[in-house]
């Protein structure tokens, strides 16, 4: 049997859906992408910062396109908007920490010199004995529990920030990617559920040795001058925290822990124990504290639309295609246009939606339904995507996959001496990445990885699977992350960082429009194959889905 015959048989044996071009795929064209992006990332759009009028204009632009295409509005009351509430914290007047020894002696500490409340802290007071509880993580799916038994009930938790094995690629959490389990707000919720009266955080001296500049940390948390981009959170999250949450300096931590006879370094090593640390009560000492943090509500919104599937049995299952439309705004001297980040993903989303709408007009629909989502406030902490993941418009257990596009219009370029923003990335030229696109999230679903490799046959991009376990933290820096944390197979399409990333030089004239067209066609093809195929991809890493039930 000759090699040509074998190759032909293998081709014929491949899944039919992967060999069928998605209807409307060739309607995705670089000239239309370019026209949209020169508007969305124009100077007049002023960087589309959350809370700014231009951000709302960008949402209206996306909404108008969805409406013109005849897509189904998916927001409340037949709207194309999904509203949610953000929270902006401000420091109140009464914040105190005092140590009380059994002898009656007391030490009072200074705000922003020795302690500060976390921005998500509840306002209130507490007094009680302290229990050291390692990293303060409860991850049942990983067999890790720092809150064993009732050790915290009626007590104050003292925890390290970060997580065990943070720099170990084989860590049971997320390798060297910072896991969702380690989010400080989640630690407050873990402690709260364990019966704690309050939670205190100290710097992880094991994974981050060296001098801690606590006053600098305090200034970052509560700057004297208002930030151009204030820190925001989901109101849903901050409303769920009912106990004071306070960061303390190493000096305060050492004073609290002195009665245990153990140093911070010794306790840090104990905190690395497999399965979680054994709680250590602090004898002969009480901590009295007060926290005052005001939460100011801000309304925000995603833009959402759908194309209904054709199969009566499968149309209640969903493929989610998404990108974020916000960016970093402008100051007096600079406009952060955000052409690549993420104007490129947003215009690709519009082109993909148009391809589906055109196919539907020609009588072709996928078997499953497709949800198109333009998230807001990604640059503030993936907040639009998290808002959806926490309050989904279609059931998450019927969402078979998420395809997220963020920065898909340039070539990855990591210069020599690029600094912290390129941490963990090898030096590489733009030319070396001319035909490449990074695919993140692939280790969470081998089925989804196979699907995209099949869909790529007609596009012939070089798919790089290299950043799922990388200290750059890229995996958790875009909007697929909340969906991975909910246990949904999800991919992040990303052409990589470059020197213009998050600068005023990320402009539409620098986009590689032919490459953008090809990536948009790949995402469209992949989404069509997923929406039209019989099976649904399996999620391979349920233990890492920290936000799943």
Closest CA to 68 of 305, 342, 370: 305
Position 208 scores a pLDDT of 84
Q: Which of the following CATH numbers is that of domain 94-291: 3.50.30.30, 3.40.50.970, 2.10.109.10, 2.60.40.10?
A: 3.50.30.30
Q: Indicate the pairing of strand 81-91 with strand 233-234.
A: antiparallel
- Please give the model's pTM, rounded to 2 decimal places: 0.95
Distance of CA 389 to the CA centre of its chain: 11
Position 212 scores a pLDDT of 83
- pLDDT: which is higher, 403 or 226: 403
**Could you report the per-residue pLDDT of 282-300, keeping only the tens digit for each?**
999 999 999 999 999 999 9
DSSP state of 254: H
**Could you report the per-residue pLDDT of 32-57, keeping only the tens digit for each?**
999 999 999 999 999 999 999 999 99
CB neighbours (10 Å) of residue 362?
Answer: 10
Q: What is the mean pLDDT of the chain?
A: 95
Residue 64 has pLDDT above 50, yes or no: yes
12 pLDDT band, cuts 50/70/90, is: very low
Cα–Cα distances in angstroms (integers) from residue 368 to residues 119, 313, 372, 523, in the given order: 42, 9, 13, 16
Cis before 456? omega within 30: no
**Could you report the per-residue pLDDT of 438-466, keeping only the tens digit for each?**
999 999 999 999 999 999 999 999 999 99
Position 15 scores a pLDDT of 42
DSSP state of 21: P
27 vs 33: CA distance, rounded Å: 11
13 pLDDT band, cuts 50/70/90, is: very low
Cα–Cα distances in angstroms (integers) from residue 58 to residues 49, 55, 153, 338, 408, in the given order: 10, 5, 48, 12, 19
**Could you report the per-residue pLDDT of 171-183, keeping only the tens digit for each?**
999 999 999 999 9
206 pLDDT band, cuts 50/70/90, is: confident
**Could you report the per-residue pLDDT of 114-163, keeping only the tens digit for each?**
999 999 999 999 999 999 999 999 999 999 999 988 999 999 999 999 99
14 pLDDT band, cuts 50/70/90, is: very low
Segments in 161-309 forming alpha helices (H): 184-193, 214-221, 235-240, 250-257, 264-271
Position 16 scores a pLDDT of 39
Residue 216 has pLDDT above 80, yes or no: yes
Element (H, E) at 349: helix 345-361
251 vs 246: CA distance, rounded Å: 14
Q: Which CATH superfamily is domain 46-87+297-544 in?
A: Zn peptidases (3.40.630.10)
549 pLDDT band, cuts 50/70/90, is: confident
**Strand, coil or helix: 62:** helix
Position 103 scores a pLDDT of 87
End-to-end CA distance of the chain: 53
**Could you report the per-residue pLDDT of 68-111, keeping only the tens digit for each?**
999 999 999 999 999 999 999 999 999 999 999 988 899 999 99
**Fold matches, 46-87+297-544 and 94-291:** no
Percent of the chain with pLDDT over 90: 93
User: How large is the average pLDDT for residues 529-537?
Assistant: 96
Closest CA to 442 of 414, 410, 474: 474
**Could you report the per-residue pLDDT of 390-413, keeping only the tens digit for each?**
999 999 999 999 999 999 999 999
Q: Would you kindly state where each structural domain of the chain is located, as residue ranges?
A: 46-87+297-544, 94-291
Position 231 scores a pLDDT of 96
């Amino acid at each position: 049997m000759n090699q040509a015959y074998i190759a032909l048989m293998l081709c014929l044996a491949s899944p039919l859906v992967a060999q069928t071009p998605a209807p409307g795929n060739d309607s995705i064209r670089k000239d239309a992408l370019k026209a949209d992006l020169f508007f969305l990332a124009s100077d007049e759009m002023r960087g589309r910062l959350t809370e700014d009028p231009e951000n709302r204009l960008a949402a209206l632009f996306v909404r108008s396109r969805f409406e013109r295409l005849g897509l189904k509005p998916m927001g409340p009351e037949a709207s194309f908007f999904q509203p949610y509430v953000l929270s902006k914290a401000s420091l109140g007047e009464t914040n105190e920490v005092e140590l009380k020894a059994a002898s009656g002696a007391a030490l009072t500490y200074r705000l922003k010199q020795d302690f500060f409340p976390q921005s998500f802290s509840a306002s209130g007071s507490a007094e009680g004995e302290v229990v050291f509880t390692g990293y303060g993580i409860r991850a049942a799916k990983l067999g890790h529990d720092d809150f064993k038994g009732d050790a915290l009930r009626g007590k104050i938790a003292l925890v390290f920030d970060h997580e065990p094995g943070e720099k170990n690629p084989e860590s049971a959490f997320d390798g060297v990617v910072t896991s969702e389990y380690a989010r400080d707000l989640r630690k407050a919720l873990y402690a709260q559920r364990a019966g704690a009266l309050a939670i205190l955080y100290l710097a992880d001296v094991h994974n981050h040795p060296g001098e801690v500049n606590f006053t600098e940390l305090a200034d970052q948390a509560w700057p004297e001058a208002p930030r151009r981009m204030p820190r925001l959170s989901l109101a849903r999250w901050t409303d769920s925290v009912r106990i004071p949450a306070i960061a303390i300096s190493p000096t305060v931590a050492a004073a609290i822990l002195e009665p245990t006879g153990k140093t911070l370094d010794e306790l840090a090593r104990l905190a690395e124990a497999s399965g979680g640390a054994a709680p250590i009560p602090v004898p002969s000492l009480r901590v009295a504290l007060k926290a005052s943090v005001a939460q100011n509500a801000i309304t925000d919104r995603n833009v959402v639309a759908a194309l209904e599937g054709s199969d009566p049995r499968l149309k209640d299952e969903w493929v989610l295609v998404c990108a974020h439309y916000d960016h970093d705004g402008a100051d007096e001297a600079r406009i952060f246009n955000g052409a690549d980040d993420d104007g490129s993903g947003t215009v690709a989303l519009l082109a993909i939606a148009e391809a589906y709408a055109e196919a539907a007009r020609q009588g072709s629909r996928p078997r499953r339904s497709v949800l198109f989502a333009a998230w807001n406030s990604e640059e503030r902490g993936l907040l639009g995507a998290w808002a959806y993941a926490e309050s989904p418009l279609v059931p998450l257990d019927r969402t078979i996959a998420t395809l997220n596009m963020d920065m898909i219009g340039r070539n990855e370029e990591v210069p020599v001496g690029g600094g912290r923003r390129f941490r963990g990335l090898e030096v590489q030229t733009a030319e070396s990445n001319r035909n490449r696109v990074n695919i993140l999230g692939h280790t969470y679903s081998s089925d989804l990885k196979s699907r995209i490799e099949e869909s790529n046959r007609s596009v012939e991009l070089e798919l790089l699977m290299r950043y799922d376990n990388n200290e750059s933290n890229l995996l958790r820096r875009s909007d697929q992350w909340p969906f991975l944390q909910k246990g949904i197979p999800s991919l992040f399409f990303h052409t990589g960082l470059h020197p213009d990333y998050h600068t005023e030089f990320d402009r539409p004239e620098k986009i590689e429009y032919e490459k953008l067209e090809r990536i948009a066609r790949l995402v469209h093809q992949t989404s069509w194959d997923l929406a039209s195929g019989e099976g649904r991809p399996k999620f391979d890493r349920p233990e890492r889905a920290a936000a799943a039930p």
